[in-house]
Structure 1
């Protein structure tokens, strides 16, 4: 498969996201199953009889709006691995369709190797330990950071032993916990297909509920498909250039995927996989340019306002644990600009009135920090080029303040 090893994908819902390479690899410290800035699943690997599903035997990769499929050609079987993240649940679902491609009945052995790595985004190595409970078709592994559950639709056996493992994706030392392997044994007739479903869940271990979600796989996929269909119908763009039409659809759906459940609030995050925090600059620029999803816009404004500094600064970013960084020279003037775009789109005057104290503090900040020419100084690393030690009276920041004052 050409260039598949260099390409990766994201499956995203409001409550978790999954990152992996198209050739089935988990290659970096950022691949795996995440809930915003916390990782849960390091990797999984599947062996069919004595063959691992891997870049060596993958034949096709298919990406749809809601799901992806990895298709593998083995000695006796064709295996389709469909992967899916629902819109409103912190879970990953894997559906294996196994077809016996031979002329005789075959013994089938499916073996799962699973590694948990429950850590925060800014961690590498840590000293935490894990506890695990095994049952006939599931396990729950947990540490002080959270818990990861695994459920199979088919009963099997946990074999071998669990252990701690260190490895170095991208040269970064990582610690993970490899569980006992999960084994399913079956028999498949010639040209017969059999389906096996599996689920991983972040911080959710009510097994009966997880089993019900696994059984309702088709409903969950249909629900997400309908959500995407409605978004595209409500945000239509038609030109004579097919490329632009397709690009617009991708952009709108990506904007939708940036809306997450952030401590029970529907807000915008900046991007996957590194920037799954609420960034003032990114979310406010997005709202200013294209106010999208009234509830997400409103909740984002309120979250940023609730964390405004005493001297009036809007946060640079907010973490799920409540930590706040204020090193942004542009988020503060972008707040009234974005609020005006929101007001024009949705007409919610009551929100503006609710935020009047926030706006007052913003303009007080401007009055206290402008020089005799009306310019505001930007400290190092505080503009959109925050990886550079850029400082001074940066031109785009002055434009933002001019626009905010209109």
Structure 2
């Protein structure tokens, strides 16, 4: 494959958010190298290590520092980040990258003198330490910045540690000897030509300045490397990590690029000849790669989205596996499924905030600080669906056998989910969420239509797997429950006058007639008759739901519609993908293709990634109004696009077990 097509380039609007990530550490900043923003910085979960590292140039005849982001001329991503800067007669090329399994970040600068005479200047590095527990980023009410800092002359690095927690460390330095270092800088422009070191017991605020004198002859180039290591780890481990980062930078860069290229080449490649569709496919694939995360003691999984959800969500992971399966990234699917199985509830109990969980339940949240929360009604059945989807694509009967016990426990939990004996699945508020299905910002209890469809399909998937292993009693039990739920969806939720499905049945038994996108889930999982499916999709195609950039979560005519809300009218790539695949599955090629094109519009508004949610009324690119809150990169938004292309547009039907 031509390696050029695996890169993307930007030359304008370089303030967009950008993510660079290995499997351990990730960096959020702007394309131009700026780090401004509450959630931006360098992370090694569950800690934030630094708010950023600012680089600049101070010419001998100038009073203020020229910060590089102000002079950025171009940005390229191809596994590493490459930026070009022009300051006067200096041409600066920056390469930044996060090694795959290291606990740090590397930068390589190549600075060229384009004049016919020697130039002398100062190169500035300003690491801003912020050793903070990840959860504290959710609010700025109280922040403590007290660090103990020093400079290690032999290693040419500064060392900052938390004043109370000696294992919370940040190390930063270069392969060059600095002219001077200031370890505690309130104003970077006031630190001039003198070392500033706090005493061994004196607290500092974390902003440091390392100043390097650079001489470059005419038309010559100088290289300078930097490395940052940090996290919650022992002193010796992080020192070793730092020394490898600074001593083997080029080798690590080659490994990082190779890992990126190997991933792209070893997963499904797709070329339609339509640039927007092909670009969105490639960037969806890369978005999944960037959200892969390995946490020691947990394993490899997918973070749900950044910056707000650096968490292994059970629900999100299952939907994300649909994407990794259909592009052939089976190892990631295996790891993510095994991670969920590892934290499946082994017995009944209560979590840290006294919310009950029950044997067989798949967690809602697996947080990087060790906290596990359950209380999700759909994570458990979605685990079964994702496992079966993996089996259909991979034919890997051994791995499915390995998790068969987990599957039966999950479906045992599902069989008990009808709490009031009416045949339907119940859900309601537990933990700190208003409700426990995917629309968790408002109450949809007691029995959402999408929840019935997800459980119904999970029972069908479980029956198929049980039959593969000759477990016919369980197969028959699961099939019976599948047929019951399939029948009840039509009997209890269908509104013949509207040609639509009611959104939910309330605790008092009354039907709630909200017009929401959840009605398409029974179509997605093939649980309603063709004529009813077509009537539901006709609503989705109408202006009530569809915008030029995707599908609203709620009909515009609904009394509770709000186009700027998170889940009551905002446009989600995720739900647009539901509709796209459902159209293709019903044989509506033109309508499915139209939804694919709308999804590429969403991706274009995001420039690089798939956002979580966009406004429902105003086209995102044509307004400066604030849209619904959400992540700038979201896993299931990317993977539902991949799924819609492969399963929908291309019509690929997985049946690997029949071939293996």
Shift of 1:207: 4.0
Residue 147 of structure 2 is aligned to residue 130 of structure 1: yes
Q: TM-score, normalised by structure 1?
A: 0.88
Residue-by-residue CA offset, 1:247-271 (whole Å, 9 max, x unaligned): 2221112212222112152222212
For residues 334 and 33 of structure 2, the distance between their equivalents in structure 1, rounded to whole angstroms, comes to 38
For residues 52 and 41 of structure 1, the distance between their equivalents in structure 2, rounded to whole angstroms, comes to 21
Shift of 1:338: 0.6
Residue 159 of structure 2 is aligned to residue 140 of structure 1: yes
Equivalent of 1:278 in 299, 302, 312: 312
For residues 233 and 308 of structure 1, the distance between their equivalents in structure 2, rounded to whole angstroms, comes to 34
Residue 376 of structure 2 is aligned to residue 328 of structure 1: yes
- Relative to structure 1, the CA distance from residue 240 to residue 396 in structure 2 (aligned partners, 3 Å threshold; closer, same or farther) is same
Q: Which residue of the partner structure matches residue 170 of structure 1? A: none
Residue 142 of structure 2 is aligned to residue 109 of structure 1: no
Q: Which residue of the partner structure matches residue 409 of structure 2? A: 361
Alignment of 1:276-315 (within 5 A): 276-291=310-325, 292-309=328-345, 310=348, 311=358, 312-315=360-363
Shift of 1:209: 5.0
Equivalent of 2:439 in 385, 392, 395: 385
For residues 458 and 204 of structure 2, the distance between their equivalents in structure 1, rounded to whole angstroms, comes to 48
- Relative to structure 1, the CA distance from residue 44 to residue 229 in structure 2 (aligned partners, 3 Å threshold; closer, same or farther) is closer
Q: Which residue of the partner structure matches residue 9 of structure 1? A: 18
Instruction: Give the conservation status (yes or no) of the 8 Å contact 2:124–2:209.
Output: yes
Equivalent of 2:51 in 42, 67, 78: 42
For residues 100 and 204 of structure 2, the distance between their equivalents in structure 1, rounded to whole angstroms, comes to 27
Shift of 1:90: 1.8
Q: Which residue of the partner structure matches residue 96 of structure 1? A: 109
> SS state of the match for residue 148, structure 1?
strand
Alignment of 1:198-217 (within 5 A): 198-203=226-231, 206-207=238-239, 210-217=242-249
Instruction: Give the conservation status (yes or no) of the 8 Å contact 1:37–1:276.
Output: no
Instruction: Give the conservation status (yes or no) of the 8 Å contact 1:151–1:211.
Output: no
- Ranges in structure 1 where 5+ consecutive residues have no aligned partner: 166-174
Alignment of 1:46-125 (within 5 A): 46-49=55-58, 50=62, 51-54=64-67, 57-123=70-136, 124=140, 125=142
Q: Which residue of the partner structure matches residue 400 of structure 1? A: 454
Query: After alignment, is 327-336 or 356-365 more displaced?
Result: 356-365
Shift of 1:53: 4.1
Q: Which residue of the partner structure matches residue 424 of structure 2? A: 375
- Ranges in structure 2 where 5+ consecutive residues have no aligned partner: 1-10, 188-202, 349-357, 429-433, 461-660
Q: Which residue of the partner structure matches residue 26 of structure 1? A: 35
Residue 173 of structure 2 is aligned to residue 151 of structure 1: yes
Instruction: Give the conservation status (yes or no) of the 8 Å contact 1:237–1:248.
Output: yes
Count matched residues.
Answer: 396
Instruction: Give the conservation status (yes or no) of the 8 Å contact 2:145–2:206.
Output: no
- Relative to structure 1, the CA distance from residue 36 to residue 178 in structure 2 (aligned partners, 3 Å threshold; closer, same or farther) is closer
> Whose Rg is larger?
2
- Relative to structure 1, the CA distance from residue 73 to residue 377 in structure 2 (aligned partners, 3 Å threshold; closer, same or farther) is same
Shift of 1:351: 3.4
Instruction: Give the conservation status (yes or no) of the 8 Å contact 1:53–1:72.
Output: no
For residues 158 and 67 of structure 2, the distance between their equivalents in structure 1, rounded to whole angstroms, comes to 24
Shift of 1:88: 1.9
Q: Which residue of the partner structure matches residue 245 of structure 1? A: 278
Query: After alignment, is 121-130 or 275-284 more displaced?
Result: 121-130
Equivalent of 2:253 in 221, 228, 234: 221
For residues 299 and 329 of structure 1, the distance between their equivalents in structure 2, rounded to whole angstroms, comes to 22
Residue-by-residue CA offset, 1:172-201 (whole Å, 9 max, x unaligned): xxx993344212113111222111110111
For residues 161 and 101 of structure 1, the distance between their equivalents in structure 2, rounded to whole angstroms, comes to 33
- Relative to structure 1, the CA distance from residue 353 to residue 160 in structure 2 (aligned partners, 3 Å threshold; closer, same or farther) is closer
Shift of 1:387: 2.7
Equivalent of 1:317 in 365, 371, 381: 365
For residues 240 and 113 of structure 1, the distance between their equivalents in structure 2, rounded to whole angstroms, comes to 45
More helix by share: 2
Residue 231 of structure 2 is aligned to residue 196 of structure 1: no
Report the aligned-residue RMSD.
2.6
Q: Which residue of the partner structure matches residue 397 of structure 2? A: 349
Q: Which residue of the partner structure matches residue 262 of structure 2? A: 230
For residues 382 and 284 of structure 1, the distance between their equivalents in structure 2, rounded to whole angstroms, comes to 16
Q: TM-score, normalised by structure 2?
A: 0.56
- Relative to structure 1, the CA distance from residue 376 to residue 207 in structure 2 (aligned partners, 3 Å threshold; closer, same or farther) is same
Residue 302 of structure 2 is aligned to residue 268 of structure 1: yes
